Homo-oligomer: A and B are copies of this chain.
Amino acid sequence: MPVFERIAILGVGLIGASIARAAREYGAANTIALYDADPAVRQRARELGLGEVFDDAVSAVTKAGLVVLAVPVGAMGAAAEACAPGLENGAVVTDVGSVKGAVVSAVATKISTHAYFIPGHPIAGTEHSGPDAGFAALFQNRWHILTPLVDGREEYPLFVDKLEQFWRALGANVERMEPDRHDVVLAVISHLPHLIAFNIVAMAEDLESVTESEVVKYSASGFRDFTRIAASDPTMWRDVFLNNRDAVLEVLGRFSEDLAALQRAIRWGEGDTLYDLFDRARRMRREVIEAGQDTPAPNWGREN
């Protein structure tokens, strides 16, 4: 039995398309309605047969028990506003934004009082974007974080449970967290790594000392790994940094401080300091593998 009879997904990128495919594949919803602000994306969603594609947000959400906002963080408020007049009585509205505090501020006031806004964030993705990048297995064994609001209505917790059930049906493990806590944790383990990757890849591109073709040619020595993560959607990431500014700046300060200490250890030839730090970093890898969060295959199973 489906968790929701009818769901609506606003924004048909990697995540939106994957939810559509997963909901159908694993029977989490009977009918899937889709809307994207970009006509070309709507057209592509039709060609891919992702669900019933509508040309406006209000029609898309009509009669939907669950509405998923799957647009960049900076567009969440507008997406909520656009669909609000069509929201059913008792509809659950959720989102998939990588920042939660700013999304709560932007969306909560736009959602009619007869609907239930429960923010969320799937810890899943690839470096590809757009409707063609979606696939049903994206959320399998990945974590999905829900950050329920302080909402006095007694049925609110029941809808949180129902939304959790939906994500479990898609294969995810579900965890609950405060929105602010989410933003601090993600700043460390997701936003900062992406920022660093963007920075090093862009830097390498406009160095005078090394040509771009040298960078590309010998990239298997480490650099190529950073290019994958730096290939993620620029609009999505611009919005993440603009909307999780304080937490990102905080952890970036710490990163720079630690890097300066490492720089000093190199300058002064402090081998033991370097070794101890590298050894500590290596242990973290083992924990990630043991927790089933990455493959133990060398080089992620790439040929070489």
Contacts and interface: CB of A to CB of B under 8 A. Distances in A.
Contacts of A141: 303-304
A287 interface: yes
Which of under 10, 10 to 19, 20 to 34, or 35 or more describes the interface residues of A? 35 or more
A105 interface: no
Tell me whether chain A's interface is mostly helix, strand or loop, or mixed. Answer: helix
Contacts of A201: 280-281, 284-285
A42 interface: no
A230 B281 contact: yes
A216 interface: yes
Given A141-B304, A189-B204, A300-B300, 5 more contacts: A145-B218, A188-B210, A195-B262, A204-B284, A242-B269
Protomer copies: 2
Interface of A: 98, 123-128, 133, 137-143, 145, 175, 184-186, 188-205, 207, 209-210, 212, 214-232, 234-235, 237-238, 241-242, 245, 248-249, 251-252, 254-256, 258-260, 262-263, 266-267, 269, 271, 274-275, 277-288, 291, 293-295, 298-304
Contacts of A175: 217
A13 B251 CA distance: 36
